[in-house]
């Protein structure tokens, strides 16, 4: 009960593979996890973050009576950033300070029902990738600079498309996870 779990942040998608030609794009680091939280228990996770990065936590209760859970997110200094009671899902994005962020899922209000919880972490602006991108830009001169300007204009559009793609993939993953856990089959209507 309440054991500390440190999560690594593996690279799930590289923008260079997903969007060829998007050299100015910084990929997100993405992790997801599904676990069972017994009745009357609380489970906390810790995520180290650098200064001025972006941390997004999305969670959903997949199974269990009421499909609800208490959620708590705390800063490295112990300040409560988010506290939600009896929610079935949530999405929270914060700009970080340096240190370990704690987020907890609390099922202590339930005396009988365990809960199956899916959560995903999306980490942006982790620092190292941005510095590597800036290093190669100092060697570009002349007409290459015009191409770079075009990249700068397209960059916000690429981020929006990529964010929508990640969100769609996350929701699809949640539904697929639920399908596997409940052993249901998708049925499609016959088209004539």
Q: Is residue 129 part of a domain?
A: yes
Domain limits for position 72: 26-140
Summarised one tens digit per residue, pLDDT across range 67-123 is 999 999 999 999 999 999 999 999 999 999 999 999 999 999 999 999 999 999 999
Amino acid 190: pLDDT: 62
d(CA 123, CA 109): 31
d(CA 156, CA 24): 10
Amino acid 165: pLDDT: 66
- For the domain that residue 46 is a member of, what is the CATH number? 2.60.120.680
User: 7: Cβ–Cβ under 8 A, 6 or more apart, which residues?
Assistant: 31, 33, 45, 46, 47, 121
Q: Is residue 152 part of a domain?
A: no
Q: Is residue 12 part of a domain?
A: no
Question: What is the DSSP track for 98-127?
Answer: SEEEEEEEE-TT-SS--EEEEEEEEEE--S
Summarised one tens digit per residue, pLDDT across range 21-76 is 333 445 568 889 999 999 999 999 999 999 999 999 999 999 999 999 999 999 99
Provide the domain count of the chain: 1
Q: Is residue 8 part of a domain?
A: no
């Amino acid at each position: 009960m309440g054991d500390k779990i440190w999560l690594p942040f593996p690279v799930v998608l590289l923008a260079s593979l997903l969007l060829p030609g998007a050299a100015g794009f910084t990929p997100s680091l993405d992790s997801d996890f599904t676990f069972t939280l017994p009745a009357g228990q609380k489970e906390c996770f810790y995520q180290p973050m650098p200064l001025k990065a972006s941390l997004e936590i999305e969670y959903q209760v997949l199974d269990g009576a009421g499909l609800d859970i208490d959620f708590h997110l705390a800063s490295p200094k112990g300040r409560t950033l988010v506290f939600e009671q009896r929610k079935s899902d949530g999405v929270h994005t914060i700009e970080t300070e340096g240190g370990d962020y704690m987020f907890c899922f609390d099922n202590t209000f339930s005396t009988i029902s365990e809960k199956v919880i899916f959560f995903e972490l999306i980490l942006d602006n982790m620092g190292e990738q941005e510095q590597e991108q800036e290093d190669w830009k100092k060697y570009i001169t002349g007409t290459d600079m015009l191409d770079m300007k075009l990249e700068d204009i397209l960059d916000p559009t690429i981020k929006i498309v990529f964010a929508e793609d990640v969100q769609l993939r996350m929701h699809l993953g949640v539904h697929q996870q639920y399908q596997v856990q409940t052993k249901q089959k998708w049925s499609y209507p016959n088209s004539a």
